[in-house]
Amino acid sequence: MDLPRHHVIREGDLRILNPYDPGKLATLGQAIRLRPGDTLLDLGSGKGELLCTWARDHGIAGTGVDVSTAFTAAARDRAAELGVADRVRFVHGDAAAFVPEGPVDVAACLGATWIGGGVPGTLGILARALRPGGMVLVGEPYWRLDPPDEETVRACHASAREDFHDLAGLVTLFGDLGWDLVEMVLADQDSWDRYAAAHWLNLRRWLDANPGDELAGELRRELTGEPLRHVRRREYLGWGVFALIPR
């Protein structure tokens, strides 16, 4: 079980594998009022930046689970670098099937709601890990504006408009599923640009260094087309993290 190699190449040396920057990640940790000793489960933890920096800054402990061996190794290295390896651990495996040792204060899934087949299923997975009164964090895209055509929809990595809600629709969905929205921190166009454009540079550097690799043709096509796809979608697609407490 592992992610395809092109995902690792694309992310390169990025530490945050979503359209957040370090400031927004820090703002989220402050906004949800983390307390020393809180426990957190991060499903789809990537390279562990959320858990590692929040353990350093807020004194929390927790576990991250990710399907990528490369990302899990990078997360463990980051924990050692920040001096928090005694409070956080990272597990390589299926996030949807992971069972924590006990209920946690915060359960998170930022940008990987595919683990539950979408938002409703992912909230169900997160809910079963929570202590009574605990909080979940869900990172999810939404439509900022209605996409004008199918080309824009495809540029947003969607197969149909119905794949995403608009912001009001997403908030309505949370309520319909029995959750109170208690905080949100949204990406902005600059943080989207930084995330997207970092991929282009990672791809170009890798292509320069590996012209004969079996993935070179595929990644060359991606680099050729992705900047235009990004500028087509940047007015239309938003992303944010939503803090929810069950009613």
- pLDDT number for residue 103: 97
Long-range contacts of 77-80 (CB under 8 A, 24+ apart): 78/15, 78/47, 78/48, 78/49, 78/52, 79/48, 79/51, 79/52, 79/55
Q: Order of strands across the sheet with 179-186? A: 88-92, 61-66, 39-43, 104-110, 130-143, 237-246, 179-186
Residue 198 parent element (H or E) = helix 189-209
Find tokens 């980051």 and name the residue: 78
The answer to whether 128 touches 104, Cβ cutoff 8 Å, is no
Under 8 Å CB-to-CB from 2, ≥6 apart: which residues?
67, 68, 69
pLDDT for res 2: 87
φ/ψ region of 157 (left if φ > 0, alpha if ψ in -120 to 50, else beta) reads left
Kindly state the DSSP code that residue 107 receives in the 8-state scheme. Answer: E
65 neighbors 42 (Cβ within 8 angstroms): yes
Q: How many domains does the chain have?
A: 1
Cα separation, 66 vs 234, in Å, equals 28
Per DSSP, what are the bridge partners of residue 185?
241
Structure confidence at residue 221 (pLDDT): 97
Q: Which domain holds residue 117?
A: 5-246
Q: Which parts of the chain sit beneath pLDDT 70?
A: none
Give dist(CA 11, CA 210) in Å, integer. 16
| pTM to 2 decimal places | 0.95
CA gap 183, 18 in Å, rounded: 18
Q: Identify the H or E element spanning 29.
A: helix 22-31
CATH code at 115? 3.40.50.150
